[in-house]
A = this chain, B = another copy of it.
Amino acid sequence: MAEVEVARTGRRGRGGGGAARRAERTAVKIDAAKYIERNIPNFEILTPEAIEVIEANAETVLEEIGVAFVENPEALKLWKDAGADVRGERVHIPRGLARKLCATAPSRFTQHARNPERNVEIGGKSLVLAPVYGPPFVRDANGGRRYATMDDFRNFVKLGYMSKWLHHSGGTVCEPTDVPVNKRHLDMLHAHMTLSDKPFMGSVTEPSRAQDSVEMCEILFGGLDGRTVMTSLININSPLTFDATMMGALKVYAEANQACIISPFIVGGAMAPVSVAGTLTQVLAEVLAGVAYSQLLNPGAPVIFGAFVTSIDMNSGAPTFGTPEASQILYGAGQLARRLGLPFRSGGGLCGSKLPDAQAAYESANTLNAALMGGVNFMLHACGWLEGGLVASYEKFVMDADQLGALHKLAAGVAYDEPAQAMDAIREVGPGGHFLGCAHTQAHFKDAFWRTNLFDYRPFETWDEDGGRDTQALASARVAKLLADYQQPALDPEIAGALRAYIDEKKASTADSFI
């Protein structure tokens, strides 16, 4: 396992014999990859004419149909003052106004982590990978499918911390259903802050919980000084509806200069039309309105153009993932986001399968590839997603996380400097020879190829004698190994104590609620 190096450190000279042996400890060095900086082009599926039509139609939607800001008089006033035509809760936005308001949003921003080495850049050619978000259930090969608990949550944060190719600790990696709804955000944030040193997301389920998230970050970072330290997920109630809870959380974050993903959540055919161009039109209209609103709240607040779009299976009514229509929408939305100069969020290891089997892998690989090629800057659900997002899967987490390494390599592009040209090797070997022993191979083989930490490449006989395990079984073993090797990153005890005190006080001041 390349990314986890276990070094036994003998503290010789400090004590003799048994004491020295007792003092021996295992130091685990965590290898974490830098966020991806693409050195490959983006795949652009929309022609300039198609873009023009979709952009014009989105303006028509905003002006003629408008968007609803529900139970939110403050938002309506902001829109009216900005020049929108507000009728009841419906905001009709004159052509061009939303796009103009979006212009103050940065095209790229830094999200800080408590370990500065884990800071990520979001926007431009970068790609930041974050784990699954939101499942109420978990699954593993031994325990099957069950409600997620806070113990599961901590395990997934640990797995994320131990995963070299994951840049971000994420947010609700699973819903800890054993903790009261009105308090679980405190425990979740505490886990991200103390069990990992990677960047994370804040709570969005109530504006007050967003405020708690900001306050906990102020403790963790010793004051924010304008730094962006959270990227949180603001879903739009598609079609064209912005609810008060999400907009309240957005307000808290935008005013604190914390980043939000403004994300239509669409099952195509149900929350949007059954066509790709129609869905893209609606996505663009919704994001324009949402991002414009964020800039009304605080011009310059960092935001991400989100697009979580899948399609519906017309037989079962279930959402589907890894489909060609989803890929087309992803590619198109990426183009629309870049035209707006905004960072783009989509994709992940999305699948509909109930098991981490071949269906799950085909669907997830389709989405992961599209997200890389389509210019995604922030990929939520990059690993661990199962069963349409109802389940966080332990095995799928490490399966996907392994594939994320392949994305890094693919994104690096093709070098063609003199060593990469390898003319000396072709000359040395000549017709009919082989390259295994040549000087060029000896010099470069170690870094030449991406290496899996999971898949089995052994000959059939060796593999068969060793139990003939499938990918799920290999993944179970890897999960166990990562959790066993896990060591908590150091945190200033004063900060740790202050966080604990904040949470204890918050919890003591309110009754538990499970709804």
Which A residues are closer than 8 A to B by beta carbons?
Answer: 40-41, 43-46, 49-50, 53-54, 57, 60-61, 64-68, 90, 145, 237, 239-241, 268-282, 311-316, 318, 320, 322-325, 327-328, 332, 352-366, 369-370, 373, 387, 390, 399, 403, 406-410, 413-416, 419-423, 425-427, 429-436, 438, 440-441, 444-446, 448-452, 454-460, 463-464, 468, 470-472, 474-475
Contacts and interface: CB of A to CB of B under 8 A. Distances in A.
Contacts of A273: 422, 425-426, 435, 438, 440-441
A352 B449 CA distance: 15
B457 A406 contact: no
Contact of A316 (B239, B240, B459): B459
A61 B428 CA distance: 11
Nearest to A349: B362
A43 B45 contact: no
Contact of A414 (B50, B237, B361, B468): B50
A41 B40 contact: no
19 contacts: A49-B416, A61-B423, A68-B431, A239-B426, A239-B430, A240-B431, A269-B435, A274-B422, A274-B441, A275-B421, A315-B457, A323-B406, A325-B449, A355-B471, A357-B471, A358-B358, A362-B364, A369-B369, A369-B370
Given A239-B430, A276-B420, 6 more contacts: A240-B430, A269-B449, A273-B435, A324-B408, A328-B414, A357-B358
Contact of A240 (B356, B357, B369, B432): B432
A358 B237 contact: no
A388 to B, nearest CB: 9
Q: Which of A40, A362, A438, A470 has the largest number of chain B CB atoms within 10 A?
A: A362
A368 B195 CA distance: 38
A445 B312 CA distance: 10
A463 B391 CA distance: 15
Nearest to A279: B422
Contact of A270 (B361, B435, B460, B474): B435
Q: Which of A315, A457, A464 has the most chain B CB atoms closer than 10 A to its own CB? A: A457
A446 B269 CA distance: 11
Contacts of A454: 359
Contacts of A65: 426-427, 430-431
Given A399-B362, A407-B324, A277 B422 contact: yes
B373 A456 contact: no
Contact of A276 (B40, B272, B415): B415
Question: How many chain copies?
Answer: 2
A436 B270 contact: yes
Contact of A457 (B41, B61, B352, B444): B352
Contacts of A40: 45
Given A358-B470, A410-B327, A449 B68 contact: no
A432 B369 contact: no
A49 B408 CA distance: 23
A325 B413 CA distance: 9
Nearest to A370: B369
A90 to B, nearest CB: 7
Contact of A275 (B60, B410, B419, B452): B419
A54 B352 contact: no
B278 A422 contact: yes
Nearest to A419: B275
A366 to B, nearest CB: 6
A212 to B, nearest CB: 29
A275 B444 contact: yes
B45 A423 contact: no
A360 B359 contact: no
A241 B318 contact: no
A402 to B, nearest CB: 8
B357 A414 contact: no
B399 A448 contact: no
Contacts of A413: 45, 328
The 9 closest A-B pairs by CB, nearest first: A278-B422, A361-B361, A365-B365, A273-B422, A274-B448, A324-B410, A240-B431, A324-B409, A358-B471
Nearest to A58: B426
